[in-house]
Structure 1
Amino acid sequence: MTHYSLEDHAQATSALAQIKEKWENYSGNNPNKFRAAMESAKARLLTISTELKAAGLLERNPAEERDALLDAEFPAARSKDVVTWEGRRFMKRFSPAATSLSGKTVIAWNTYWEELVE
């Protein structure tokens, strides 16, 4: 059970779109204007989307479905762990989804499984 709804997802999507629109219409000289708000909105949308997809309220693409199966099979997998699943090898990967204004602190992470081809 998730504590987010499809309405929360719609609001988060709208909030991110509004911030992006403000950035596109900004004619000032500050390259970091709206960046903190944009990163925060991206992190919130990722959190909501991930939870709704796990609950089955949002549809996953085939790669996300495969990743969910791998996560269920290997829940303790850490970054760069290599596993064999259904005769194929996969590596657990992480990439920053949203960072702080300085770029040194990650606010949210994307996680995925990369298939290793030998």
Structure 2
Amino acid sequence: MYTLNDLKEAEDNLALWEKRWENYDGNNPNKYQSDLRNGRESVRAIRESLKNQGVLPKSDKELLENELDIAFPEAQSNDIVVYKGNKFKRKFWPLEKSRSRKSVVSWGRGWEEVK
């Protein structure tokens, strides 16, 4: 289980790597990239864990998306479902791409209301 202190440490660590990348004046475009990627993923994972524990509040949208995830766990990309009289579409998007921008390193997911 994570604490708010763990989140603060992860955010500080990420800020440190971002600062190092900003100040780097060499010609290696991959310098610090794995550290930055790990830092971003760590912050995302800790924040999500704290929200699931109830330490950080979830937004109304996050609460609705949790309900939809529970009601439709097998929904695929662009599937449209009806929940409480409203239509929602399952969406996936790239959270982070590789340095070459040709492949996706991690995916985000959510729901979008269809009018």
After TM superposition, give the deviation of residue 64 of structure 1 in Å: 1.6
* Kept after mapping to 1: 8 A contact 2:94/2:104: no
The aligned counterpart of 1:113 is 111
Moved over 4 A (4+): 99-103
**What is the CA RMSD across the aligned residues, in angstroms?**
1.9
Contact preservation (8 Å) 1:40, 1:98 = no
Compute the TM-score of the two structures, normalised by the length of structure 2. 0.82
Match of 2:91 in 1: 93
Say which SS state the counterpart of residue 75 (structure 1) adopts: coil
Structure 2 match to 1:81 = 79
In structure 1, distance between residues paired with 2:94 and 2:35: 16
Q: Which has the higher contact order (CA 8 A, sep 6+)?
A: 1
Please list every run of 5 or more consecutive structure 1 residues that lacks an aligned counterpart in the other structure.
Answer: none
Q: Say if 1:39 and 1:99, in contact at 8 Å, map to a contact too.
A: no
Equivalent pairs: percent with the same residue? 36
Alignment of 1:4-83 (within 5 A): 4-83=2-81
Query: How many pairs does the alignment contain?
Result: 114
> TM-score normalised to the size of structure 1?
0.81
The answer to which of 6-15 and 93-102 deviates more is: 93-102
Assess if the C-alpha contact under 8 Å between 1:8 and 1:48 holds in 2. Answer: yes
Secondary structure of residue in 2 paired with 1:112:
strand
CA shift, 1:26, in A, is: 1.4
